[in-house]
Amino acid sequence: MGVTEFRLPTISRPIRHLQRYRQILMVFTRHGFGFALAHLPTEPLWLRDLYPYPRQERASLPFHFRQALEELGPAFVKLGQVLSTRPDLLPPDYIVELTKLQDEVPPVAWAEIEHVLIGELGRPLDEVFEEINTRPLAAASLAQVHLAKLNTHERVALKVQRPNILRTLKTDLEIIHDIAEYAQGHTPLGHVYNLEEIAEDFADTLNRELDYVAEGRNADRFRHNFADESGVYIPVVHWDFTTKRLLVMEFIEGIKIDQIRAIDGAGYDREEIAKNAARMIIQEVLLDGFFHADPHPGNFLVMEGNVIGALDFGMVGYLTRADRVNLIRLYNVAVQMNAKGATEELIHIGAAPYDVDRRVLTRDIERLLQHYGGRALKDIHLGDLVDEVMPVIFEHRLKMPTNYWLLAKTLAMMEGIGLKLAPGFDIFGFSAPYVNRLILGTVVPDGRWLGDMVRRGMSWIDLLDALPQAGRLLIDRLEKHEPVRLALDDRSLNVLDRLATRLALSLIVAGMIVGLAWLIPAVTGANWLVQASVIVSFIVAILMGFRILWSIVRKR
């Protein structure tokens, strides 16, 4: 039995979902958000009995916003979780409150779950299971989990999608899209953000979370990545019985990672557990670029031998190599207390628009960096840092990539767990060799001046990367006979021509020097003629470099 994916509508349909619209507005009005009705062009008659609007203290509105989302059901709970990763959209106090969203609901009756199981397996349950515990281990808004034993005597956890959940979500997603479509054209936020695109991304995210085949693949990928790590265990997926609505996975037992007394009572080594957790995060972020994005304590168990068992792989984050390079560059300028460099990097990754007020943004970053200046890395807590960064993001509407913010929240949450396990554990000190290896191997050589030079060199490479696209756009405009105005005289154009030529020659010579320097050790032991050719070419490239340098000095 397949899952019908959500397709967002192209037109609004408030009449069709009138009852649900009314329910949503009543919930938000009851929680103090009735003032939002003032943004409607005309107030529908069916809203008149919502008067008088109850008022809430401004400070309590984030709390009531979270409560309203929880009251409205799974689609709005998931929306709140997504919004908690967008500090550019909501003020910091709302973001903090949304991280507390609870996804726990009363369980569905066993008869309904049994019906889903039979439909997904396509056969009687006794042909597959020796026994099933009809009392759920956990119940959430989208699914609930039951313990079972296969006929092969293996214990498994069954994650079963709730019946009729698709119908409820489809209606709510259509309404969310309608609201986003209206806000796009009638609110100031619509002039800054593409709210319809955000609604569509949210629908895609929810689709992925409802696809348990995709979750099983995530688990397999984690299992492969940690195959050589003895301190982390990923349960096995039973693919013979897994479908889009049913996930059958090996059942593992252990103590929740935040239950310190139970861990001590079992005689486990908390310091070793903290190290295993740190190694897990380091590998996910720095090496694999694929991380568990829902690291609340219930998803990590401490097992025999201080091993960490991971659960629930529906929410994951991705970091491309470019993402990791960008993060290292941001880290590099931050530790150098270089606020201007941080502003440049934020613009480079697209977090800050090119027309941002650089002076004000640099000033705010400077204040933030000065607050942490002089502190040892081990004395900096990521949770506090995230809280202080949020106002800057919101103030300047910095559109941080979702995976970056998801990573920040993940690291802060794991840091909190680590501090509970071993208060004296220095995660920065432990991870320093890995970070340095990544910096030395892929991005920034050691040394402040050299790091700054390489960072600026990479900015030039980014510029050259963008030139072909800009050139194509210019040619398109010329072909369409659109006016292209350059406020430059002949003298200025000659200066630009000389600068471009010098830049091109400099890059070519630098590439030759670096390439030949890498090639010299590779030809060791080769034919003497090959070695001589490489060495002579290297010397010629060096001389050309000095020639260009001399021409620059002489012109100055």
- Which residues, 6+ apart, have CB-to-CB distance to 475 below 8 Å? none
**How much is the mean pLDDT over the chain?**
79
The answer to whether the CB of 424 falls within 8 A of the CB of 126 is no
Q: How far is CA 255 from CA 14, 207, 242, in A?
A: 48, 31, 26
The answer to whether the CB of 302 falls within 8 A of the CB of 308 is yes
Task: Give, for 310, the enclosing helix (H) or strand (E).
Answer: strand 307-310
Alpha helices in 6-109 (DSSP H): 18-28, 61-72, 74-83, 92-98
Burial label for 37, CB within 10 Å (0-12, 13-18, 19+), is: middle
Q: How far is CA 379 from CA 335, 426, 427, in A?
A: 14, 9, 10
Residues paired with residue 433 on neighbouring β-strands, in sequence order: none
Residues paired with residue 302 on neighbouring β-strands, in sequence order: 255, 308
pTM of the predicted protein model = 0.70
pLDDT at position 531 over 90:
no
Identity (one letter) of the amino acid at 12? S
pLDDT at position 12 over 60:
no
| Cα 136 from Cα 159, distance rounded (Å) | 10
Among the residue ranges 277-281, 376-380, 439-443, 462-466, the one predicted with the least confidence is: 439-443
Look at residue 244 in the predicted model and tell me its pLDDT: 94
Look at residue 1 in the predicted model and tell me its pLDDT: 42
Dmax of the chain from CA atoms?
Answer: 93
What are 228's two structure tokens? 């050589």
Look at residue 135 in the predicted model and tell me its pLDDT: 94
The reply to whether 490 belongs to the active site is no
pLDDT at position 47 over 60:
no
* pLDDT per position as a tens digit, 416-433: 777 788 887 777 677 777
Sign of the C-alpha dihedral, residues 477, 480, 483, 487? positive
Look at residue 447 in the predicted model and tell me its pLDDT: 45
| Cα 511 from Cα 540, distance rounded (Å) | 13
Identity (one letter) of the amino acid at 497? D
| Cα 506 from Cα 66, distance rounded (Å) | 56
| Cα 21 from Cα 26, distance rounded (Å) | 9
* SS3 call for 226: coil
Q: How many CB atoms lie within 10 A of CB 543?
A: 11
Look at residue 485 in the predicted model and tell me its pLDDT: 56
Buried b (16+ CB within 10 A) or exposed e, 45-75: eebeebeeeeebeeeebbbbbbbbbbebbbb
| Cα 372 from Cα 467, distance rounded (Å) | 38
Residue tagged active-site, from 294, 312, 384, 497: 294
Highest mean pLDDT among 16-30, 34-48, 160-174: 160-174
Q: What percentage of residues in the chain have a pLDDT greater than 70?
A: 75
Q: What percentage of residues in the chain have a pLDDT greater than 90?
A: 23
Residues paired with residue 309 on neighbouring β-strands, in sequence order: 233, 301
Give 285 or 473, the one with higher predicted confidence.
Answer: 285
Average pLDDT over residues 76-98: 85
Q: Which of 85, 18, 154 is nearest to 26 (CA)?
A: 18
Alpha helices in 373-447 (DSSP H): 382-396, 402-421, 427-442
Average pLDDT over residues 19-30: 85
C-alpha triplet 405, 408, 411: angle, nearest 5°: 150
| Cα 313 from Cα 223, distance rounded (Å) | 11
Highest mean pLDDT among 184-188, 206-210, 414-418, 472-476: 206-210
Give 407 or 457, the one with higher predicted confidence.
Answer: 407
| Cα 115 from Cα 435, distance rounded (Å) | 51
Task: Give, for 291, the enclosing helix (H) or strand (E).
Answer: strand 290-292
Task: Give, for 156, the enclosing helix (H) or strand (E).
Answer: strand 155-161
